[in-house]
Amino acid sequence: MQYPTPIAKLIESYMRLPGIGAKTAARLAFFTLDMKEADVTDFAKSLISVKRDLHYCSICGNITDEDPCDICKDTTRDRSTILVVEEPKDVMSMEKMREYHGLYHVLNGVLSPMDGTGPDDINIASLIQRLHDEEVTEVIIATNATTEGEATAMYLSRLIKPAGIKVTRLAHGLSVGSDIEYADEVTLLKAVEGRREL
């Protein structure tokens, strides 16, 4: 027997999510069918809103509902330091730690020619622009400890250092090959304290 079209379409949509196969998708689809209409409407609205109402901050590249984002607007933060991360979720991890009070820059990616990502494809130009315009004295590079994360850090260092800005690499405490996202807070704190100059 074929599923009625609306159910089939929903199953197909669920299957696009990571880690969800046909069986789970069917279960979720039938669960959705049993949900209250108001809840389903809320759900649908959040899905659309996450794409429609969320933007990238024009300064730091983080996701935000207002441009510029809260952190970039916050005048109490230390504006002389920029911490560079790969993904918006890395900003979340750092913020949870509450020990870093400077600004951020989100690359939204990492240098990986294999995946078609070169220097022009991630937010590097906007970072260099910020360094021209703002009074930044230190850039902390907190890309992941993968070969791609390292390559990105080395590349940024080559671009930034000639301008006389201190470049440090957040690495100590993070085990090799690991992602910031999975690091616990103590590890991250140690990593910030033990950053090394590039």
**Residue 69 contact, options Zn ion, another protein, none, Cβ 5-8 Å cut-off depending on partner type:** Zn ion
Residue 194 to residue 173: CA distance in whole angstroms: 8
Could you tell me the smallest distance in angstroms from the CB atom of residue 152 to another protein? 9
Q: Which residues in the 100-139 window bind another protein by CB under 8 A? A: 111-114, 118-119
Question: From the list another protein, Zn ion, none, which binds 158 (C-beta under 5 to 8 Å, kind-based)?
Answer: another protein
End-to-end CA distance of the chain: 62
Q: What is the spatial distance between Cα 9 and Cα 15, in angstroms, rounded to a whole number?
A: 10
Closest approach of another protein to the CB of residue 151, in Å = 5
Residue from 147, 185, 193, 194 touching another protein (CB under 8 A): that is 147
Burial class (CB in 10 A: 0-12, 13-18, 19+), 111: buried
Angstrom distance (rounded) from CA 71 to CA 68: 8
Between the alpha carbon of residue 5 and those of residues 9, 11, 50, 143, the distances in Å are: 6, 10, 26, 44
Inter-residue contact 14 to 29 (CB < 8 Å): yes
Rank residues 48 and 114 by Cβ distance to another protein and give the closer one.
114
Please report whether residue 57 would count as binding Zn ion according to CB under 5 A. yes
Here's the x/- map for another protein, 156-185, by CB under 8 A: it reads as --xx----------------xx--------
Region from 23-31, 36-44, 149-157, 184-192 binding another protein, contact rule CB under 8 A: 149-157
Q: Which residues of the shown chain bind Zn ion in the complex (CB under 5 A)?
A: 57, 59-60, 68-69, 72
